[in-house]
Chains A and B, each alone.
Chain A
Amino acid sequence: MINSSSDNVKKLNSINRRMFITGSVKFFIMIGLVSRLFFLQVKENKKYLTLSDKNRIREWKLAPVRGEFHDYFGNVIAGNFEAYQLHIIPEQVEDFRYVIYRIKDLLELSDKEFKRIIKKKNEIKSWETLIVSDNLSWKKFSKINNHLYDLNGVKPVISISRNYPFGSNFTHVIGYVSQANEQDIENNEAIKKNFVPGLKIGKVGLEKSFENKLIGSNDIERYEVNAYGRRISQLEFQKGEKGKSLRLTVDTKVQQLSNELLKDQAGSICVMDIYTGEVIAMHSSPSFDPNLFVFGISQDDWQIIRNDPMKPLVNKTLQGNYSPGSTIKPIVALSALENGIINTNFTVNCRGHKHPLELYGQTYHCWKKEGHGFVNLRNAMKQSCDNYFYEIARKLGVDRLSETAKKFGLGKEVFGNLFNIEKKGLIPNTQWKKNALGQSWVLGETVITGIGQGYIQTTPIQLCLMTAQIANGGYKIYPKIVMDDENKVSPIDKFTPLYKNSKNIKIVQDAMFASTNEVRGTSYRSRIDDPKYQFAGKTGTAQVKKITERDRELDLKTFQIPYEERDHALYIAYGPYKNPRYAVSILVEHGGNGSTTAAPMAKKLFKTIIDRHQLRESINNKKYLDI
């Protein structure tokens, strides 16, 4: 009994001792747990709170509203319209099959379209939006609305989309928008930031150049979602900003007229303010309807545009490298005068096709079979005598000619890097030929450069700038098509003289006047006698192929030659002559002859331009009055 009780005591001592040890261990473990809780919940709380919000809050971005384009007078030329769309959230539809077939009937969907919708439906989650149609006509949209009672879960939605009210008129100025592809997203931060599926971005033209300004910012919807991504409730709606609208210098009326003039012809018309450099109109023909691209162009439409022999996709004003033909003659004359090669009395005897200019076995003909006889500068320009210009070009040399030409804006991009498609053209000189072709310049090339043939190539917009700078008295201007921000500094060398002697400019201007307004001038028939509209210009006919002796003998009329072999018709002009304000350049591809095809267009253009001058001025004056 004593043994057993002493054992009991020992046992109790042992168990109590161990209980004490255990108790202490428990205490410290408890402390450990509490400190872990403290660490997670108090110290690291912010981190985990953020993570928890990241878990539960998801943002949905909506497409931003794109900025608009306005013409000089504030008319919308690229705006937004309400597109009628049809959305379905599949999980909200009780009987999807029934509803989708019902919609198929109502919208008269083709089997192909129907299959595409079904395919799209299978790709998305049941609570995501299925866009059945992104641009319904009002008729179909209202039809759907009338049948909504048995279309559960179908949502007619009005969404904002791009619209070009003037259709093809401005395509080559502002371009068009279309769905962004992966490359667009990768190359542009602004697009990346604002990207939502179906976002439309500028693909060409100013829509592309000013993408970052136009795009605006997304509306953002914040939703609470569960672990499976289902939206539970909307937490916030953050209104995005509409993209910046841009005012262009373009006058819609003149632009429309340009479209009409070049209808069914390939070519280009540019109109420019000779002092401010504002582009009043800039058209390349043929054009196409940019609205076709907004919701994705159909294969048929695309093939029509792509395969058109007149190449509507090419912006001829900016991308077209053409031989300037005789329109280069004012610059050749100016260069010769500036360099003291000739004076106004210098004469050349043009003796027609029987006595062409001969250099090293090559012959160079004037365009006029009979010849012009003795011509001085004024007469040579007026009648566009090639022999005269062969002679002064030969005396001048190509290097001095190219110097003057470059000064007046030829051979480089007129808009800088505004349009990434703009071509430089080519003003050749001896150095260029050595570098590019590895050959020495030959005199014959100088001679034909003098009448704008050979290597020399210019774009219609360059010719327009050249004309404007001759017209304004020989001062440098910077063409622009978008109205500047008020705070933008104009370049320092704006309005610096491009001439050595202003008298030389006057001589060239006078010669151009003669060409249009005096008997035997090449564009005499297109003249306007009313001094209000009177303009001065220079025709040009650029050969697209070498004229052979046979051609010369045949002396075919334009319509008798195959289209591709016809000459390009060009015309540059400025007016009103007494107090010049606007410069024009016109190019008609394979139009035959500058004086018969291009010059008459200028007549119509100047009528409109000058009639609208007052209006244009008043807009500016009004602006100052308001402030």
Chain B
Amino acid sequence: MYQHNRLTTNNFNFFSKLANFDYVLMACILLLGLISLATMYSTDGGKILFHTKSHFTKLIVFTIMMLIFSFVNIKFWFSIGYFFYVIIIGLLIWTYLFGIKSSGSQRWIDLYFINLQPSELMKICIILCLAKYFHRMKLENVNSLYAILSSLIIILLPMGLVIVQPDLGTSLLISISGLAVLWFAGINHKYFIYTMIGFLISLPFIISFLKPYQKLRVLTFLNPDRDPLGAGYQIIQSKIAVGSGGIFGKGFLKGTQSYLEFLPEKHTDFIFTLFSEEFGFVGSVILLLIYAIIIYRIVAIGAQSRSYFAKLFCYSFAASIFVYITINMSMVLGLLPIVGSPLPIMSYGGSSMLATMIGFGIVMSAKVHSQQSIA
């Protein structure tokens, strides 16, 4: 009866939308934002400097943006799926042609008020696009050659554009996001297994195509003590920082590894190291727990959603977020070679936060409009 009632209300008013809001997810995101601010404050050496200020501004702007997005009907997000994809592809081409070069790679475009990294946006965009692609497809058509090929093209095109930047890490994350959608869309699991086997077999060949510094990272991962002051330095110092944190950590603003500048990239990819050093095992587990709740809420929202698009998007987005977190943490804990992958929300970086917040916005929109069906 209740459900029926909801079915008929197509026009949601503001208050019913507000009532449908997922406050747990919201609270977790805000909490994460606060933690990331505190951590950023610590990376600035206990002073409010550039990184903290900038991170704070972005956090405020993007959270408001996320809230606005969540009031936009899920149908809108469905409708702009392809358009969004085309725009980002365009931006990636723009990056390739006119992007800003910095430290040997060309990842950024200058939008006058902000420097944007389109590859980060592609991570969310590809999910949107593929979710739309598979929304209406019948299950038996999903495994057709046409469907598989076209979805692979959708994935490989941005991947290629990101690899030439060069940015192996982000392109891998884009492909994983895309593959997550394919997996949830119901593509035969054999294909995944075959691909995996094929990948493992061709791994030696892939490695031979890697750039020298990438090869070095793999070798360093296998044996960090090979070159403790050179290639192995980051991972060794990172492990020392995490390990020395102990159960309760060294205390806020007291992480010696970061304070004394032993930690590399502490604002971005290695932010977890600093957090873990200062807040220890307990803090790290709490942070993981917050991420787990966020992922759980996204999955739950997907499960509640009526539309297949929303479900597909939420599940894939949750899987992607999970992969980002896993890869970043495995990297700083010395379980994976070093690939550039930020920790969602925690790491400093506007584009990454923008993409994540767009994702949260769409998820929130799916929650608010969970009863919305998409034709």
A-B contact pairs, 16 of them (CB 8 A): A7-B139, A11-B139, A12-B311, A22-B184, A33-B330, A33-B333, A48-B242, A49-B243, A51-B240, A51-B244, A52-B240, A52-B244, A55-B237, A55-B256, A227-B260, A228-B261
- In this complex, the member of B243, B256, B284, B329 whose beta carbon has the largest number of chain A beta carbons within 10 angstroms is B243
Question: Are the C-beta atoms of A55 and B319 separated by less than 8 Å?
Answer: no
Q: Is the interface of A mostly helix, strand, loop or mixed?
A: helix
In the complex, residue of chain A having the shortest beta-carbon distance to the beta carbon of B284? A37
Provide the residues of chain A in CB contact with B239, threshold 8 Å: 40, 48
B139 partner, pick from A14, A29, A33, beta carbons under 8 A: A14
Contact (Cβ within 8 A) B184 A15: yes
For chain A, residues 1 to 21, give those with C-beta under 8 angstroms from any C-beta of chain B. 7-8, 10-12, 14-16, 18-19
| A55 and B257 contact, CB distance less than 8 A | yes
Per-residue 0/1 for B241-254: is the Cβ within 8 Å of any A Cβ (1 yes, 0 no)? Answer: 11111110000000
Residue of B138, B237, B319, B333 touching A37 (CB-CB under 8 A): B333
Candidates B186, B261, B288; contact of A18 at CB < 8 Å: B186
List, in ascending order, chain B residues with CB within 8 A of A26's CB: 295, 319, 322
A32 CB to closest chain B CB (Å) equals: 8
Known A30-B288, A37-B281; contact A15-B240, beta-carbon cutoff 8 A: no
Interface string of A15-46 (1 = CB under 8 A from B): 11011001100100110011011101110110
Given contacts A38-B281, A48-B239, are A232 and B260 in contact (CB under 8 A)?
Answer: yes
Extra contacts besides A41-B246, A48-B244, A49-B246 (6): CB < 8 Å? A7-B138, A7-B139, A19-B315, A33-B330, A41-B245, A52-B240
CB distance from A469 to the nearest CB of B (A): 66
* Nearest chain A CB to B116 CB, angstrom units: 30
- Is the C-beta of B299 less than 8 angstroms from some C-beta in chain A? yes
Residues in chain B near residue A56, CB distance under 8 A: 256-257, 260, 262
Q: Distance (Å) between the CB of B180 and the closest chain A CB?
A: 8
Which A residues lie within 8 Å of B244 (CB)? 45, 48-49, 51-52
A52 x B311 contact (CB < 8 A): no
A226 contacts partner chain B, Cβ-Cβ < 8 Å = yes
Q: What's the minimum C-beta distance from B159 to chain A, rounded to whole angstroms? A: 22
Task: Report the minimal beta-carbon distance from A24 to chain B, rounded to whole angstroms.
Answer: 12
How far apart are the CA atoms of A93 and B295 in the complex, in Å? 56
Interface residues on B, range: 35 or more
- On whether the beta carbons of A55 and B260 are closer than 8 Å, the reply is yes
Contacts of A45-103 to chain B: CB distance below 8 A = 45, 47-49, 51-52, 55-56
Q: Are B299 and A45 in contact (CB under 8 A)?
A: no
Contact status A19-B186, CB under 8 Å: no
In the complex the two chains form, is A22's CB within 8 Å of B308's CB? Answer: no
B285: Cβ under 8 A from any A Cβ: yes
A16 to B299, CA, bound (A): 10
A196: Cβ under 8 A from any B Cβ: no
CB A424 to nearest CB in B, in angstroms, measures: 54
In the complex, B82 has a CB within 8 A of chain A: no
- Does B257 contact A52, Cβ atoms closer than 8 Å? yes
Distance A36 CA – B330 CA, assembled complex (angstroms)? 9
CB distance from B176 to the nearest CB of A (A): 12
Q: CB of B302 within 8 A of chain A?
A: yes
**Contact A42 B242, beta carbon cutoff 8 Å:** no
Residue from A10, A36, A42, A45 in contact with B333 in the complex, judged by beta carbons closer than 8 Å:
A36
Q: How far is the CB of B118 from chain A (nearest CB, A)?
A: 28
What distance in Å separates the Cβ of B280 from its nearest Cβ neighbour in chain A? 6
A42 and B256 within 8 A (CB): no
Does B276 touch A at the CB level, under 8 Å?
yes
Contact in complex: B276, A48 (CB < 8 Å): no
Count residues on chain A whose CB falls below 8 Å from chain B CBs.
38
* Chain A neighbourhood of B295, CB < 8 A: 26
Provide the bound-state CA to CA distance between A14 and B143, in Å.
Answer: 13
Cβ contacts under 8 Å, B303 to chain A? 16, 19
Using Cβ atoms and an 8 Å threshold, which residues of chain A touch B329? 33
Whether A36 and B335, one on each chain, are in contact in the complex, defined by CB atoms closer than 8 angstroms, is yes
- B270-289 to A contact mask, C-beta < 8 Å, 1/0: 00000010001100110010
Of the candidates A15, A33, A36, A37, which one forms a contact with B315 in the assembled complex, judged by CB atoms under 8 Å apart?
Answer: A15
CA distance A16 to B184 in the complex (A): 8
| Docked pose: A286 CA to B333 CA in angstroms | 72
Whether A41 contacts B186 in the complex (CB less than 8 A), given A22-B315, A33-B288, A227-B262, comes out as no
Q: How far is the CB of B90 from chain A (nearest CB, A)?
A: 31
A21 → B minimal CB distance (Å): 9
Instruction: Name the CB-closest residue of B to A16.
Output: B303
Residues of chain A in range 82-127 having any CB-CB distance to chain B below 8 Å: none
Q: Residue B351 at the A interface, CB < 8 A?
A: no
* Chain A proximity of B201: nearest CB distance (Å): 23
Report how far A48 CA is from B236 CA in the complex, Å: 10
Most chain B beta-carbon contacts within 10 A, residue among A10, A33, A49: A33
Beta-carbon contact of A19 and B308 below 8 Å: no
The reply to whether B256 and A19 contact each other, CB–CB distance below 8 Å, is no
Flag whether B292 is at the interface (Cβ < 8 A): yes
Complex Cα gap A14–B188 (Å): 10
B240 pairs with A48, CB closer than 8 A: yes
Residue A225, interface by CB 8 Å: yes
How distant is the Cα of A232 from the Cα of B259 in the complex, in angstroms? 10
Complex Cα gap A570–B329 (Å): 88
B78 CB to closest chain A CB (Å) equals 16
* Interface contact B241-A52, CB-CB below 8 Å: yes
Q: Which residue of B lies closest to A49 (CB)?
A: B244
Nearest B residue (CB) for A57:
B256
Q: How far is the CB of B63 from chain A (nearest CB, A)?
A: 25
A224 at the interface (CB under 8 A from B): yes
Closest 7 CB pairs of A and B: A48-B243, A52-B244, A41-B281, A226-B260, A14-B186, A227-B261, A40-B243
A227 to B243, CA, bound (A): 18
B residues 306-356 near A (Cβ < 8 Å) are: 308, 311-312, 315, 319, 322, 326, 329-330, 333, 335
Question: Which of A29, A37, A48, A227 is the one whose CB lies under 8 Å from B326?
Answer: A29
Smallest CB–CB gap between A234 and chain B, Å? 14
| B183 proximal to A (CB < 8 A) | yes
**Of B138, B311, B333, B335, which contacts A15 at CB under 8 A?**
B311
Contacts of A23 in B (CB 8 A): 299
Give A55's nearest chain B residue, CB to CB.
B262
Q: Encode contact with B along A488-512: 1 for CB under 8 Å, 0 otherwise.
A: 0000000000000000000000000
Q: Are A22 and B257 in contact (CB under 8 A)?
A: no
With A11-B308, A36-B333 given, is the CB distance from A41 to B315 under 8 Å? no
How far, in angstroms, from A22 to B322 measured CA to CA in the complex?
A: 10
Cα distance A322–B237 when bound, in Å? 68
For B280, list chain A residues within 8 Å (CB). 41
Write the chain B residue with the least CB distance to A47.
B243
Most buried by A among B241, B256, B280: B256
Asked whether, in the complex, the Cβ of B292 is within 8 Å of the Cβ of A30, the reply is yes
Q: Which residues of B contact A41 (CB under 8 A)?
A: 242-243, 245-247, 276, 280-281, 284
Kindly report which residue of chain B lies nearest to residue A225, judged by CB atoms: B260
Contact between chains at B247 and A52 (CB < 8 Å): no
Q: Are A45 and B139 in contact (CB under 8 A)?
A: no
- Asked if B308 and A8 sit within 8 Å, CB to CB, the answer is yes
Q: How far is the CA of A518 from the CA of B34 in the complex (A)?
A: 110
Q: Is the CB of A45 within 8 A of B247?
A: yes
**Which A339-393 residues sit within 8 Å CB-CB of chain B?**
none
Closest chain A CB from B315 CB (angstroms)? 5
Bound form: Cα–Cα A204–B245 in Å: 53
Which residues of B sit under 8 angstroms from A44, Cβ to Cβ? 243
User: Which residues from chain B contact A12 at a C-beta distance below 8 Å?
Assistant: 308, 311
Q: Give Cα A37 to B286, complex, Å.
A: 12
B308 near A226: Cβ-Cβ < 8 Å: no
B243 close to A18 (CB less than 8 A)? no
Chain B nearest CB, measured from A7 CB (Å): 5
Least CB distance from A35 to B in Å reads: 10
A19 CB contacts on chain B under 8 angstroms: 184, 299, 302-303, 315
